[in-house]
Amino acid sequence: MEYGVTVNGFVRKRLPEIREDIFKSLEQNLGSTVSRQPNSMIGVLVGVYAAELDRMWQPLERDYYDRSPISASEGSLDNTLAYTNVQRKKAQASYLYAVCYGRSGMVLPANCQIKDASGYKWNIIEESTITLNDCVHVTLDVATPAEGKVYSVQFDNDAVIKYTAKTGDTALVVAVALASQNVPKWQGNVLDGKLVFERADRRYGAVVVPNESFTVTQVGSPIRFDCEEYGAIEPLLNSVTYINTNYDGWFSVSNESETYVGRDYETASEVRQRYASAVFKNSVGMVESIKAALMELQDVTSVTIYENRTDEMVDGLKPHSFQAIVFGGDEEAIARTILSVAPLGIDTNGEICVRVEDTEGASQNICFSRPHEVPVYVKVIIKEYNEEVLPGDAIDKIKNIVLAQFKKLSMGNDVIYQRLLGPIYSGVDGISYIECSVSKDGQTYKQENITIDRGELAVTKLADITVALEL
């Protein structure tokens, strides 16, 4: 038999084979048989020598397998990954853009801190300003009307609303007239006699320019705050409302857009699963390299790339172009990443377009899409196995297991309901039988797979998972 590095991998010679080969070599060279009894003189000498050789074979085998990220031991994994410029993802802190309400021009220093309902603290990343140049909320006090007085507000350097006061108009009449005018991406209201405008997108602010007929009483600007702790910390919307460092002119705060969720240090099993696609980040201009680069971004959990290499329009894609569909992540970071790895001269497609400066200072329009989320409802019925103990938190465990399985799905992956059974059996003791069914409307549950189309992503949440114990 061949030992060492072979075409089938590494074959280690083990202690019994080593002993046998030594005895055969002795007998061949001596021309006669020798005692193979372990307590004989020759048996003891062969045993000692064979044991030493066996100890030499073990590090050789370990070194061979440590050179592959798939089989490397925990202690060698990081060094092995470095050969292909792949690194484990470090622990990351969650971050969010909280809307800070206050006086226009209020500067928030670099030591500002807010807190969520669970007690997690969030720190501002740099000195920031509550300003009309980057706001999602503005409250305006209407000056006393006079006939012919013009009231105007410009939004996003584009849309303008205007009203010219008439005889007998009150401030309330002017406010109502302006609030009723249609402004794309903005909603006007009158609150306590003041004119209030709210932007639909609470993550990205825009420019608002009121004329001198108004007094700006409050502005809300989205400002980034990072969590003090690492890990997947995701506060509920409108739950980060406590200001730990109060400043005159800073009235309130609230998280009104999705959090960019952090992560714990990547485990060995996680990086092994990611390795096959991660190596492509060393290249550019390929579908795999674009996907690998996007998957490196914080809070990005799924990426699908579609391309059109023809001279014709195909499935809505422009000739010689591609479309990145990205779940999670910051829009500006996604656009910058696409620009850095996309092939030269190849156009992008998508509903979301972001202007990004290239290395020459020219502004490029980078487009991508978000997946269409398909809500899935899950119903699980379990029977207890009398010979094992069903834990008291079994229902919560099962819900979290189901949720974790859905988070592993990529875009276009169908929901195979039977694949939920194995993880439940493995993760929860005391179960003899599981009946699982799924639904797309929360009303009609079936034991059938749910087909997910291109550009779609199956999602669920704890509230949509029902677990019952059959008595």
Residue in the block written with tokens 């402004």? 183
The CA distance from 295 to 67, in Å, is: 24
Instruction: Tell me if residue 45 falls in helix, strand or coil.
Output: helix
| Structure-block tokens of residue 40 | 């004989």
CB atoms within 10 A of CB 341: 18
Provide the 8-state DSSP code for 139. Answer: E
Say whether pTM exceeds 0.75: no
Residue in the block written with tokens 């005018």? 181
The CA distance from 250 to 158, in Å, is: 29
pLDDT (0 to 100) of residue 420: 95
Listed residue (142, 139, 146) closest to 175, CA to CA = 142
pLDDT (0 to 100) of residue 99: 97
Residue in the block written with tokens 């390929």? 286
Instruction: Tell me if residue 408 falls in helix, strand or coil.
Output: coil
Give yes or no for a contact between 84 and 70, defined as CB atoms under 8 angstroms apart. Answer: no
Give yes or no for a contact between 15 and 54, defined as CB atoms under 8 angstroms apart. Answer: yes
The CA distance from 222 to 107, in Å, is: 13
Q: What count of Cα atoms within 13 Å lies in the side-chain half-sphere of residue 372? A: 9
The CA distance from 327 to 303, in Å, is: 6
The CA distance from 209 to 225, in Å, is: 26
Dihedral over alpha carbons 304, 310, 312, 317 (to 10 degrees)? 10
**Helix, strand, coil share (%) of the chain residues, nearest 5:** 25, 35, 40
Query: Which regions of the chain are under pLDDT 50?
Result: none
User: Please, what is the angle between helix 287-295 and helix 331-341, to 10°?
Assistant: 150
pLDDT (0 to 100) of residue 407: 87
Cα-Cα end-to-end distance for the chain:
59
- Name beta bridge partners: 456: 372
Dihedral over alpha carbons 336, 230, 136, 117 (to 10 degrees)? 160
Provide the 8-state DSSP code for 402. Answer: H
The phi, psi pair for 288, rounded to 5°, reads -65, -35
The CA distance from 273 to 320, in Å, is: 31
Which residues lie closer than 8 Å to 183 by C-beta, 6 or more apart?
A: 155, 159, 161, 197
The CA distance from 118 to 240, in Å, is: 9
pLDDT (0 to 100) of residue 50: 93
Secondary element (H or E) of residue 5: strand 4-6
Listed residue (90, 92, 77) closest to 275, CA to CA = 77
The CA distance from 209 to 260, in Å, is: 30
Give yes or no for a contact between 434 and 424, defined as CB atoms under 8 angstroms apart. Answer: yes
Handedness of CA 137, 143, 145, 148 (dihedral sign): negative
Q: How far, in Å, are 409, 420, 469 from residue 404 at the CA level?
A: 9, 10, 21
Dihedral over alpha carbons 317, 322, 325, 330 (to 10 degrees)? -120
CB atoms within 10 A of CB 186: 22
Buried b (16+ CB within 10 A) or exposed e, 203-224: bebbebebeebbebebbbbbbb
pLDDT (0 to 100) of residue 368: 96
Instruction: Tell me if residue 398 falls in helix, strand or coil.
Output: helix
